[in-house]
Amino acid sequence: MKKLFPTSTAGSLPKPSWLAEPETLWSPWKLEGAELTLGKQDALRITLKEQEHAGVDIVSDGEQTRQHFVTTFIENLSGVDFENKKTVRIRNRYDASVPGIVGPVSRQKPVFVDDAKFLRAQTNQPIKWALPGPMTMVDTLYDDYYQDRKKLAFEFAKALNQEAKELEAAGVNIIQFDEPAFNVFLDDVNEWGIEALEIAKAGLTCETAVHICYGYGIKANTDWKKTLGEEWRHYEKTFPAIQKSSIDIVSLECHNGRVPLEVLSLLKGKKIMVGAIDVATDTIETPEEVAATIREALKYADADKIYPCTNCGMAPLSRDVARGKLHALAAGAEIVRKELSA
């Protein structure tokens, strides 16, 4: 029988301090050239072992080889100027220095495919690989060329599709598109965001996921969350159309937020990566807290569709805290697994 409640993380995990400045987004590398390549591979080995040791079922690269979950992919496309960065406001929330679109975008070469092959060679566990979603990419740059968000998103989706097909061929089991922007531009999601995702996943035979969250646990995001009211009902606006899409898995934020879990009932038939770990606090959840979130999700979704996960990436956390949270996640899932088999 298939194991219930397979655990995974949303994506990023902290990097070792010898590779990049810890607890920082867009942290510059501390190594260069061949040393950097080897350093990234060592970091990838460590993050894999830590996930396996914690008992995480679906493992990932912890995004050890990329500086940022969006810009690293964008910077590898042609048509992008990453030398003349400009400051833009991301998701209407915080300013960041980002690359720009100055010509037609296209993918000339694989971006993460070698990293995925490397990870595949290290483990027999199922692998999930995160890519940025088209809408979130559009929101993380300036565009002096297309000047049309939908058009640019569709171009990105084509590039993502090329990458995704090669990742699948490299042995990736689940390809995940990160779309935090789906919780901000709700009308656009329904008008063209999901359509863009369908282009990005066209022709894939592996499973696909979309990760939609309220962002990393950085101050700009936690401040924004305070303005969102007593109940966060963003998911309610987009889940009906996502339910009709061909995406297999939806990853969302549940624990410690104000998301009413009844939104899960809008995802009938989908697998659901239930965020049971808060990435915005250093407090490590107890396994019992994780179990409580899973039990709550069970009110709205079938057991075989629930995949316990983290709310978002853990890159900005300390390694000790992230490690503790991984262990709590796996232990919490095991509690509910035992309850159901009793």
Interface with Zn ion (CB under 5 A): 213, 312
Query: Which CB atom, from 39 or from 134, has the smaller least distance to Zn ion?
Result: 134
Comparison of 5 and 214: residue with beta carbon closer to Zn ion: 214
In whole angstroms, give the CA distance from residue 277 to residue 293. 9
Phi, psi of 335 (to 5 degrees): -60, -50
Query: Closest by alpha carbon to 74, among 164, 159, 147?
Result: 159
Provide the 10 A C-beta neighbour count for residue 249: 22
Structural contact between residues 73 and 111, judged by C-beta atoms closer than 8 angstroms: yes
DSSP 258: -
- State the nearest-atom distance from the C-beta of 180 to Zn ion, in Å: 5
State in angstroms the smallest separation of the CB of 315 from Zn ion.
10
For Zn ion, the closer of residues 116 and 312 by Cβ is 312
Query: Long-range contacts: 242-245, Cβ < 8 Å, 24+?
Result: 242/194, 242/210, 242/267, 242/270, 243/267, 243/268, 243/269, 243/270, 245/194, 245/197, 245/198
Distance in Å, CB of 100 to Zn ion, minimum = 24
Closer to Zn ion at the Cβ: 79 or 275?
275
Question: What is the closest distance, in whole angstroms, from the C-beta atom of residue 304 to Zn ion in the complex?
Answer: 24
d(C-alpha 140, C-alpha 184), whole Å: 13
Minimum distance between the CB of residue 221 and Zn ion, rounded to whole angstroms? 9
CB closer to Zn ion out of 59 and 312: 312
